[in-house]
Chain A
Amino acid sequence: MTTTAGKAPIRRKAFSMEKWWGLVWVMPSLIAVMLFVYGFIGWTARVSMSAWKGLLPNYDFVGDDNFVALSKDPRFDIDIKNTAIFTFVFVLGCLIIGFLLAVLLDKGIRGEGFYRTLFLFPMAISFIVTGVVWRWLMNPAQGDRLSGLNLLFDKLGLDFLINSWHATPEWGIAAVALPAVWQMSGYTMALYLAGLRAVPETLREAARVDGASEYQVYRMVIIPLLRPITLSAIIILGHISLKVFDLIIALAGKQVALDVPSTYMWTTTFDGYFFNRGAAIGIVLLMSVAVLVIPYLWYTLRQERDL
């Protein structure tokens, strides 16, 4: 090795050795990713086109039968409706609350570090814990069994706010999104705060000199500048909401009224042994996340390259 290295141009050899070692170091994780991510995606896709029902694998090819059946499945309709409502409430709630918190903190409040940590804290909690806590808070019991937030409303004389939370017909899933907003709006705030800090003071000054009101400064200058932040926040929050599972299980248990694709996937696979249908739901979920994430990554990477 050393003798050949002596003959070759040293700079070049060192570089390729480095490259080679780099590849070696990356290899284990590359293989693991290929196998455990892409390999299993491929396997799931295969199962989603099989007739596997019951404990033992059955790989008889049935084409798109499972997907067609899903499209006609009234329970899957509910899943899609619930996901749409959940995503809407969750993403919008996080963006609005996150942005407002960021603007307030950006005003140079005293003890900013304390508040920043405070608002970020919920993110440190797992969705399971959030779900359990909010299950108690959002107790839908009425009459003299009021408890949780409803009891608080009652004591404060805000009776009109008392509601059935996640037991509300049709819109119960919106209540399930509230804990998720609580948990993730601090994170959205952090994103926005970083964005706001990057907006140069000179731009604000210039706008003010031009006679813009504070509202107009935000509306015309700052919010447009924060568009990349908003976009990444939407992507991040959106894919979380497509995958939400633990929060719903902890908060609502297994009930069709608050069903989402991931919970349907779990129950149909492990309670009913419909491995084919579970895999089909998994593939649909993967597709919907991919539709959201891939164009964004592609766009951003291309922009980076152009720069």
Chain B
Amino acid sequence: MRNRMLKLMSLFAALALVASACGGSSGGDAGDESGSDSTAVGSDDTTDDTTDDTTDDTTDDTTDEETAGGSVEVFSWWTGGGEAAGLDAMIEVFGSTDPGITFENSAVAGGAGTNARAVLASRLQAGDPPDSWQGHAGQELIGTYVAADQIEPLNFLYDEQGWLDVMPETLIPLISKDGNIYSVPVNIHRANVLWSNPTVLSDAGIEMPTSLDEFIAAMETLKSGGMDAPLAMGEQWTSLHLMETIMLASMGPDSWNGLWDGSVAWDSAEVTKALEDYNTVLGYTNSDSSSLSWQDAGQLVLDGNAAFNIMGDWQEGFFRELGKEPGTDYVWSATPGSDGVFQFLSDSFVLAKGAPNRDAAIAWLTVAGSNQGQDAFNPVKGSIPARNDADRSLYGEYLLSAMDDWASNTVVGSLTHGVVANDSWKSEIDSAVGLFLIDKDVANLQTALVAAHAANG
């Protein structure tokens, strides 16, 4: 009898837990999605978007005829910091140029946009696209959304607005496919930047390195001087970022471009050399990198715990947010060995095929590509405009130097940030780098990179 009670109890407990765990996890998933959807709709950034839920559905059918009314749903992963503030600034401009259109800010939070892209993917598969969404200019957009026939070419808008005259020529092929331009870039970031702490450098009697060899020698000096990890690095994607900048420095811009258009083989000797350089540089990074964000890594440099950090120029936005002074609290240069090369990435907005509010979406894109819109967004976000006719008085010391480099340097695309490779290829490279961080076997890494190229290139 007791035994039976026991068994009944344990069975009940097991069933209850299995049930609650199943319910919990599926409920969690569902909650996740609807949660993000509702953040999407009721995002706190814009206060006026809560009321349009009701009007939205009813006006949907009429907005096509009435250009000045209705709403536009814009999807992004800009939910915090300078990004969200920049977006808000641009939304404000949109509010003044198109006062009749309600802006629906559908921002989904989460690491570098991966959560947002997952939500976007399921919405697109369900045939429920937002009117416009954010994406990294380049293969990330083209390889995914153009290939799936989800976005419209925007050549007409470029012609109408005269953007081809004010945006850099090098940018256009990267955001086009077969002569069709698919997105409106609002900003330019630079990936290959070395950040450093001038006090640490001068204490150790080191100059800012300009070549890979000097860079490694400088870190060796610092290490023998008692600094554990002269190069601050964060979680896994930041080491992918490190890898691409070191590869660029080691191979040079032509070979780097060649990797992505197929003219340079992944099993070539120069790739081996570049990966070995990457491995050498990794030897100077902190052991707790996997638990740090890129901000944490930047903080290590500011605090003098590390001398260097290689990160995109959003790091400067973080430094300024902390009230640090360029030149005295931090200095910068191109990643050693890549001077004269501007490895860029760009955020851009697209027009959904079958956008529910197409005219309003075009009005939004017009603002996103306008001088007014870009000069509202970029000084706040800490990036430079994609247009070359910006108001220079709005930008700080670093950004002005980046604008000059953007105008004069050789421009190449970034891997980690979606310019040169499609998402499938990039995620396979990311896996390979993750495995490399465990076994540090250059030959294995190269084999995996060759395979990734063969399957996805």
Contacts and interface: CB of A to CB of B under 8 A. Distances in A.
A55 B147 contact: yes
Contacts of B305: 145
Interface in B431-446: 431, 433-435, 437-438, 444
Contacts of B148: 54-56
Interface string A188-223: 000100110011100000000000000000000000
A150 B397 CA distance: 40
Interface string A138-150: 0111110100000
DSSP class of A's interface residues: helix, strand, loop or mixed? helix
A151 B98 CA distance: 55
A4 to B, nearest CB: 40
Given A54-B148, A254-B237, A272 B10 contact: no
Interface stretch (A12-20, A86-94, A106-114, A263-271): A263-271
A84 interface: no
A200 B2 contact: yes
Contact of A304 (B8, B17, B25, B290): B8
Interface stretch (A96-104, A154-162, A163-171): A163-171
B236 A239 contact: no
Contacts, number: 155
B355 to A, nearest CB: 17
Given A167-B291, A236-B18, A268 B427 contact: yes
B426 A164 contact: no
Contact of A53 (B14, B235, B287, B424): B424
Contacts of A142: 228, 287-288
Given A143-B228, A169-B438, A164 B10 contact: no
Interface in B268-303: 287-291
Contacts of B290: 140, 166-167, 252-253, 255, 257-258
B7 interface: yes
A257 B118 contact: no
User: Looking at chain A, what size class is its interface with the partner chain?
Assistant: 35 or more
B204 interface: no
B322 interface: no
B428 interface: yes
Contacts of A225: 6
25 contacts: A55-B124, A55-B145, A55-B148, A74-B444, A75-B435, A78-B435, A142-B287, A166-B290, A166-B291, A169-B438, A194-B9, A229-B10, A232-B11, A240-B21, A252-B290, A252-B291, A253-B111, A255-B434, A257-B438, A259-B434, A268-B427, A269-B118, A273-B144, A293-B18, A304-B11
Given A167-B290, A254-B237, A256-B434, 8 more contacts: A198-B5, A198-B9, A236-B13, A255-B434, A256-B437, A269-B118, A270-B118, A304-B7
Interface of B: 2, 4-11, 13-14, 17-18, 21, 25, 28, 111, 114, 117-118, 121, 124-125, 144-145, 147-150, 228, 235-237, 287-291, 305, 423-424, 426-428, 430-431, 433-435, 437-438, 444, 448
